[in-house]
Structure 1
Amino acid sequence: MTKTQKTVYILVALVALVMGLTFNKMMSSKQQGDNTSLIDAGIILLPQSRHLPAIELTNQDGQPVAINELKDKWSLLFFGYTFCPDICPTTLAQLRQIKSELPEAVRDKVQIVLVSVDPNRDTPKQLKQYLGYFDPQFVGLTPRSIEELQTVANALSIPFIPADTSKPGYTVDHSGNLALIGPDGTQRGFIRAPLNTQKMVDQLPELVKRK
């Protein structure tokens, strides 16, 4: 990746971050009242749902999955990668704990999805092995290119900065926030990092009642 390309990606990521922060502020002011408990748990709902691009990624079983076809369940979508030294394993461990403490009826309506920001190393096989350490039911998705990944990240307003893959042991800068995808396949909001596991366990049952 050239210096110019990286600069463009950084600028795009910063724009996405500013948009996300603007939405955060707007949503917080509009939702105080009915959604106070959700907001306190870090669950921020959009005033209007967002349609996602019809971009196809590959899951941990090598099957194509369109990002706009994550339907029938509430998807807690996290951008990360298997070589991440800190944020990703911590977040996935928290999500495993949250899922395990939910009532069974609620648990069946929620899925955890990791979208890799490191397609250079995160093959389907690598994703499957890594997610198996946390929960074999977690879904792993890897894009075909950084450009497609950037389109998805921008659509969800969750920024990342592509890494210099020529450097050994490189890391990828990415947000710890989660995107919240509803059963209809649209983005309904965000979940702020760091996660509050107990408040999430308390509030997710209320969230999944929504259509």
Structure 2
Amino acid sequence: MSTPSRCMAAATRGLISPPAARAAHRTVASRTSNLVASSRKATGGNTACLRELQRIQNGNRKITSSSQGQTRTFSQSASRNKLKTIDQIRARNKGGPFNLTASILFVVAGAGMWAYFTYEKERMARKRIAEQTKGIGKPKVGGPFQLVDQDGVPFSNEDMLGKYSLVYFGFTHCPDICPDELDKMALMYDKVVEQCGKVLLPLMITCDPARDTPKVLKEYLSEFHPEFIGLTGHYDKIKETCKAYRVYFSTPSSVKPGEDYLVDHSIYFYLMDPEGDFVEAIGRNFTADQAAKVIADHIKDWEKPLKKETRWQ
């Protein structure tokens, strides 16, 4: 093999480089070809050719090492293997989606939705009760009546409009049941007023009109609550009112003065809405707190204006 051919082979081997320096090698190969051509023309050019090839190879090594030394930075965060302290781990996970703040917000949102849907479920149940108890044309419970209050002032069902009314039927000579229920009624009334204001009329209609005169009712009810309103009237008027409210009572129609007798009657509190419609009957199985909650919930569901002034003040 001639000297120029050996120079060319040596230059070719020196041009082999990593892919990252191929572009630079193309330029070097072109220069090598030109040198080979010029070496053929030179006489006694073996020494010059070798020197030139050596210089080119040294340049190739510098280019290759320079290209291999280039690094590409993808992330400046520390690798998981280098996280050795708690502070480093917390710092890395601080901005993650599952942190303490996100957990608290998730729990609060879930609790809020549960409370909202529970309230709506109870509200719809109360609405169904109120709608089912209303009569078509004629009310199922309640209706017109004409009586007098404990001051002898006429009182009718029209005076109940604009407020909720809690109606109880009893009599002043009742030995135990009526006093217990009136004590409960006083607690119920105070709790409802505390939550909703004075939008509830506490009424007691006597089932014993012969003995329960306005004066007797006023003295009797003042022992339970100053806001209680007692209603009485003639026997026929009381009978019509009890019939309208579906109340059973056993008072005799004709009673002689001083005659002793027993009175039996239904024991319920009747809740009437501001339009005079029956809402719900509250029995003896309700505690004062439970009954007050039922009444207050119905009042809070009412979307129309309520009267807060009192006619008897």
TM-score, normalization by structure 2: 0.50
Structure 1 unaligned spans of 5+: 1-31
Tell me what 1:98 maps to. 188
Q: Which residue of 2 aligns with 1:67?
A: 157
Secondary structure at the residue paired with 1:34?
A: helix
Distance 2:123 2:192 in 1: 25
Q: Structure 2 counterpart of 1:204, which letter?
A: I
Count of residue pairs the alignment pairs up: 175
Any conservation in 1 of the 2:203–2:228 contact (CA below 8 Å)? yes
Check whether the contact 1:72–1:184 (CA below 8 A) recurs between aligned residues. Answer: yes
Cα pair 1:114 1:140 within 8 Å, conserved: yes
Over the matched positions of the two proteins, sequence identity in percent amounts to 29
2:204 alignment partner, SS class: strand
Q: Which residue identity lines up with residue 206 of structure 1 in the other structure?
A: D
**For the aligned residues, what is the CA RMSD?**
2.8
> Partner of 2:243 in structure 1?
154
The residue that corresponds to 2:16 in the other structure is none
Post-superposition Cα deviations, 1:105-151, rounded to whole Å, max 9, x if no partner, equal 5241112100011110111111011000011110100022x222221
User: What secondary structure sits across from 1:69 in the alignment?
Assistant: helix
The CA distance in 1 between the partners of 2:290 and 2:186, in whole Å, is 14
Unpaired runs of 5+ residues, structure 2, are 1-121, 305-313
Greater per-residue helix proportion? 2
After the TM superposition, which of the residue ranges 86-95 and 189-198 deviates more from structure 2? 189-198
Alignment match of 1:129 (pick from 219, 222, 227): 219
**What is the CA–CA distance in structure 2 between the aligned matches of 1:136 and 1:103, rounded to whole Å?**
14
Output the CA distance in 2 between the equivalents of 1:150 and 1:107: 33
Change (3 A) 1:62 1:208: same
Q: TM-score scaled by structure 1?
A: 0.72
Bigger fraction of residues in strand = 1
Residue pair 1:52, 1:68 contacting (<8 A) in 2 also? no
Higher relative contact order (CA 8 A, sep 6+): 1
Aligned to 1:189: 280
Please say if 1:56 is aligned against 2:155. Answer: no
1:169 and 2:260 equivalent? Answer: yes
Moved over 6 A (4+): none
